[in-house]
Amino acid sequence: MNRRDLLSLLGIGACSFAHAALPSAAAKTVGAATRETPFPVVPTPLPVATDGLDADSQQRRYARIELEDRLVLPDGFRADVVAVWGDPVAEGRFGFNNDHLSFLALAADRALLTVNFEYISARAWREGYAEAVGGTLPFEGVIEALAARGGRVDAASLPAGDPLLENMRQLAEAAMADLGLGVIELERQPGGPWRRRTGRFDRRITGLSGWRDPAQRLRSSGPAAAVFRRRERLGYDDGLGDAIIGSFANCAGGETPWGTVLSAEENLQSQVPEAVHADGSSVSPAERPFAYDGQRLDGLGNPFGLAGNKYGWMVEIDPRRPEQAAVKHSWLGRFRHEAVAVKAVAGQPLIVYSGCDRHGGHLYRYVSDATIRDPADPANSALFTAGRLEVARFDPPLPAGGEGRGRWLPLEPSSPVAPLPPSHFTRFGLEQAILLPHSDRLRPGAEAFSSDAAVADYRRRFQTLADLYPGQGEERMGAILIDAHLAACAIGATPAARPEDTVIDPASGDLLIAFTAGGGSGDGRADPAIFRGPQGQPTWPYGWIMRLADEDAAPAGGFRWRLVATGGAPWQGGLGFANPDNLSIDRLGNIWMVTDRSTKSVDLDLFGNNSCWVLPSRGPHAGEAFCFATGPMESELTGPCFDSGEATLFLAVQHPGEDHGARPSAEAREAQAHRLVDRSGRPFEQLRWVPQGSNWPSGVPGRAPRPGVVAIRRLAGGPLLES
């Protein structure tokens, strides 16, 4: 029974209720479960194995509930707001939609926090701009002018005196000022809480750093820099050589043992063109025109003529050296980066794992040419400038035990072209075209192939990557790295289930990977031979966590893999969460995981607000999942990281109120009905009340929400979790 049928059965309409009476049995209390748990577990909106309730109690507790527009924590914990959108940072401000967080201790009571700012939620940004930033922007004028011209405009097509051009640039410049990454300084107060302090390390890199002041431009390393410098090209030239203006779409990230931070540029395609020519040069900025309708804000790079091939990289900064330019390392590849894990062992090459967050994106491994002497030596950053990039090819798991094997395919000119055929998907009842570099090598971007015969003909024409990417030496290698996703498709890398984070398990050295969702889109589809649901479903929208053990760092080296946690409702075979995203591992070996379920998907409404979970890897609770926190309405919790003593968990609250903006009053809510299943297998109906919009962090009705970062600790002090 779907939600609409169930609402009809209960006599309730699926609409917002401005003056609806709250059900008397609304469940809002956060209390301890009835059995010993690592902490007083935060209730979820659906029955889970770790809620400590028998079947009858589950039916009573979950029959009627109300979600809350706040950060819900276990009893005995509190969250202190550290920074929110609009707070001053260096010459700029704390940006919008904060994502990855990196904690770096300077002393016992002083530290730096590096923060990514990913994208703009257009409605909440507009509603809160005057309060958070001050001043006004020409929102209405731009919406009306664009609507009259088809909704999208290439800035280069407008005459210099057109008032729309200046208004577009003003709006885009303000949005770009809220993207990128920043560094803020923290100080521990007496009694334990961390607080923001203005310090000399404060820094902001925005989406337009270097546009006005060339001294602020970012550097590029590796073979792509040769592509940026070449004068003869098939596509667009921004005239900057190998220098780069700004960084944006900064999503996940990670740290190196020598104290630098890696920031991943993910959804570049929303703001600049993603497609490139065979020589790695960008298509014209006109291919991603500026667009704004009040709900979406796209093409922010267009008014400034940004070259798309300079975005989608991994950016390295040293938080302790604000005067040092940030560097985009091209040997780590250009794609929709949303993961990075660094393995640095003395006497071995530097290894970096990263993922491409798209349906059918890939898992990558970079291996440096030189080896590490001292993992803490800042000179190790030079190891990013020479090595090889590889992409994962997974083999199906064995029937017994569910363990599979795989190998790393090198992305290099001699690699053979061997894409998956479309029939690979039809065996599982799925139709999926194969995207490959366009067969007309004078045309940029991808071409879709729907038949095995067409793919076979493609392979006869292009036998290696050298046949697809022209040039010699660094220029050819740079073109491959710039077009890494399509090059990986061409050599037969496994299309994966949106790899959103990677982290090294310090105890075993294994790689943990959060695969957010197994499904498909026009971009591609996860391989159903690898990413299958608990009953073998070829599409599984709830995600997994995978453990991967590398066997060696040699070229075309092998690995072993297995899925260790599955998303989904317990009666579906999952652990009770949906869409695992960022991961962190504490000293006890617990996996801390936050979720990234779309708030626009009715099918995922069952799981309620996005949340933070703890998955013990050893002890009596190994293999279980405990909900530690749930986020405010329409938000996502991101970037979990700890202070040095693991007495504080830092979390970013991203895009509160993204769908509905500011919640106008406490009565603005929607009624939902869901069919649940208790632990004995009996179905029952739930009436759920869901606030529309958010007022986090103020909690004041009508006040616009603002993304921010919180520091979570025990009221009684001490470690977050006891051993």
- Model confidence over 77-130: pLDDT tens digits? 999 999 999 999 999 999 999 999 999 999 999 999 999 999 999 999 999 999
Q: What is the pLDDT of residue 272?
A: 98
Please state, rounded to an integer, the average pLDDT across all residues of the chain: 93
More confident residue, 600 or 207: 207
- Position 284 scores a pLDDT of 98
| Residue 599: predicted pLDDT | 82
Helix (H, G, I), strand (E, B), or coil: what is residue 542? Answer: coil
Q: What is the pLDDT of residue 35?
A: 57
User: pLDDT class for 21, splitting at 50, 70, 90?
Assistant: very low
Q: Which of 296, 252, 290 lies closest to 273, judged by CA? A: 290
Q: What is the pLDDT of residues 498-530, one digit of tens each?
A: 999 999 999 999 999 999 999 998 889 999 999
C-alpha span between 575 and 427 (Å, rounded): 29
What type of residue is 554? Answer: A
Q: Which pLDDT score is estimated for 37?
A: 84
The candidate with the shortest Cα–Cα distance to 609, out of 624, 583, 629, is 629
Question: Domain extents for the chain?
Answer: 1-10+33-76+567-723
Average pLDDT over residues 175-183: 98
User: Can you tell me the mean pLDDT for 8-18?
Assistant: 31
Tokens for 310? 């300079």
**The predicted structure's pLDDT at residue 400:** 62
pLDDT for the residue numbered 191:
74
Q: Is the pLDDT reported for residue 34 higher than 60?
A: no
Question: Which residues are CB-contacts of 218 (< 8 A; sequence separation ≥ 6)?
Answer: 205, 209, 210, 243, 244, 245, 246, 247, 315, 325, 326, 327, 328
How confident is the model over 330-344, as a mean pLDDT? 96
In angstroms, rounded to a whole number, what is the distance separating the alpha carbons of residues 310 and 219? 10
Across 307-323, average pLDDT:
98
Pairing state between β 327-329 and 219-221: parallel
Q: Which of 132, 137, 131, 124 is nearest to 88 (CA)?
A: 132
Q: Which residue would you say has higher pLDDT here, 22 or 645?
A: 645
Residue 434 pLDDT > 90, yes or no? yes
Report the amino acid identity of residue 171. Answer: L
Q: What is the CA radius of gyration of the chain?
A: 25
Residue 435, CA distances (Å) to 98, 356, 421, 521 in order = 32, 15, 10, 12
- The residue-averaged pLDDT of 666-692 equals 97
